[in-house]
Amino acid sequence: LQQRRGLRLSAPAAIQVTVRDALNQALDEELERDERVFLLGEEVAQYDGAYKISRGLWKKYGDKRVIDTPISEMGFAGIAVGAAMAGLRPVCEFMTFNFSMQAIDQVINSAAKTCYMSAGSIAVPIVFRGPNGASAGVAAQHSQCFAAWYGHCPGLKVVSPWSSEDAKGLLKAAIRDDNPVVMLESELLYGVPFEMSEQAQSKEFVIPIGKAKIERQGTHVTLVAHSRPVGHCLEAAAVLSKEGVECEVINLRTIRPMDIETVEASVVKTNHLVTVEGGWPQFGVGAEICARIMEGPAFNYLDAPAVRVTGADVPMPYAKILEDNSIPQVKDIVFAVKKALNI
């Protein structure tokens, strides 16, 4: 009736939600939806999580669903894997993925390989999640990106969100997946607000694992990134647009399985490729993307060699000025694009 009278009805507005709150929503909704889901890790319960991702969940769901563990990653990751084999759906939080090295036998030899080794008779529906890559001022032992490590292993799915919608949709998809999923979050993004659409606010909002998203359309060069560098790519694209260079920015979202088809289609259109990541260059995510493009049909459309922008090939320094120069910055992406375009 209002429309007939010529009144314009406004659509339900998108809201600003931090990545922290998006992850909290996803955990809350999945704990409520499926009684097999439980969360365990260091300080996730009574302390509300080291990063407050699990704020309020212990009070709401109790000791059996949100479990504080001792400081023993090998121990609680092993308990979680066993629980998954027995039919539960654990979410195992590592305070940082650098500490997942203590549990890598459980993640790789137990979780990733069991379905294959049992000829499909034993599923391991588990999520390993927590902050990955560089934070701020925490030096080498707390700053490594493990996307290439875990992306290397058959049997695992590996996701790496950037925005709040990514975080919520991918975590819900990971919890519902019957395979072990490694979810690599960014500590530096936890407090960052992103616009969340009405669709993403739904309890049934899920982002398919293995599908990239084009965050910005462009015609001159393809920028591919995951996690925090997606934001840097968008900033660089805005700078370059003022100079007449239009970048297509692809948010990879999933490291394994990798959506190379979306990257190929973009390269066919732009004829240039730049990959951006916070991890080290050797055997990295960007190296894999470049190899896949070279081996596939999009190679014939490249007008110049692909360029990788990566973290520096050193353990992360502690000093801030050195740390800043060890992580890809907007200026590094702008330089790489101009190199690819020979301008």
Q: How buried is 40 (Cβ within 10 angstroms: 0-12 exposed, 13-18 middle, 19+ buried)?
A: buried
Q: Contact, 155 vs 116, CB < 8 A?
A: yes
* CA-based R_g, the chain, Å: 21
Rounded-to-integer distance, Cα 79 and Cα 155, Å:
19
Give this prediction's pTM.
Answer: 0.94
The 8-class DSSP code of residue 135 comes to -
- Give the total residue count for the chain: 343
What does pLDDT average to over the chain? 95
Q: Residue 210: what residue type?
A: G
- Of 29, 93, 142, 226, catalytic: 142
Question: What pLDDT does 161 receive?
Answer: 98
Question: What pLDDT does 3 receive?
Answer: 47
Exposure of 31 in the CB half-sphere (CA atoms within 13 A) = 23
Rounded-to-integer distance, Cα 167 and Cα 163, Å:
6
The answer, yes or no, to whether residue 11 has pLDDT greater than 80, is no
pLDDT tens track for 48-92? 999 999 999 999 999 999 999 999 999 999 999 999 999 999 999
The answer, yes or no, to whether residue 12 has pLDDT greater than 90, is no
- Of 29, 42, 73, 93, catalytic: 73
- Supply the DSSP string of 194-232, one letter for each residue: EEE-TGGGSTT--PPTT--EEEE--SSEEEEE-STHHHH
Question: What pLDDT does 4 receive?
Answer: 43
- Supply the DSSP string of 95-133, one letter for each residue: SSGGGGGGGHIIIIIIIIHHHHHTTTSS----EEEEE-S
pLDDT tens track for 157-188? 999 999 999 999 999 999 999 999 999 999 99
The verdict on whether 226 is a catalytic residue reads no
CA distances from 150 to 51, 157, 193, 342 (A): 23, 8, 28, 35
User: Percent of the chain scored above 90 by pLDDT?
Assistant: 96
- Three-state DSSP state, 28: helix
Q: Contact, 236 vs 337, CB < 8 A?
A: yes
The verdict on whether 73 is a catalytic residue reads yes
The answer, yes or no, to whether residue 2 has pLDDT greater than 90, is no
pLDDT tens track for 241-290? 999 999 999 999 999 999 999 999 999 999 999 999 999 999 999 999 99
Question: What pLDDT does 14 receive?
Answer: 86
**Which of 215, 118, 208, 127 shows the shortest CA–CA distance to 169?**
208
Question: What pLDDT does 115 receive?
Answer: 96
pLDDT tens track for 121-157? 999 999 999 999 999 999 999 999 999 999 999 999 9
The answer, yes or no, to whether residue 5 has pLDDT greater than 90, is no
pLDDT tens track for 241-252? 999 999 999 999
What domains does the chain contain, in order, with CATH numbers? 17-201 (3.40.50.970), 213-341 (3.40.50.920)
Confidence of residue 313 (pLDDT cuts 50, 70, 90): very high
First to last CA, the chain: 57
β pairing state of 247-251 and 221-225? parallel
Rounded-to-integer distance, Cα 62 and Cα 47, Å:
13
pLDDT tens track for 187-224? 999 999 999 999 999 999 999 999 999 999 999 999 99
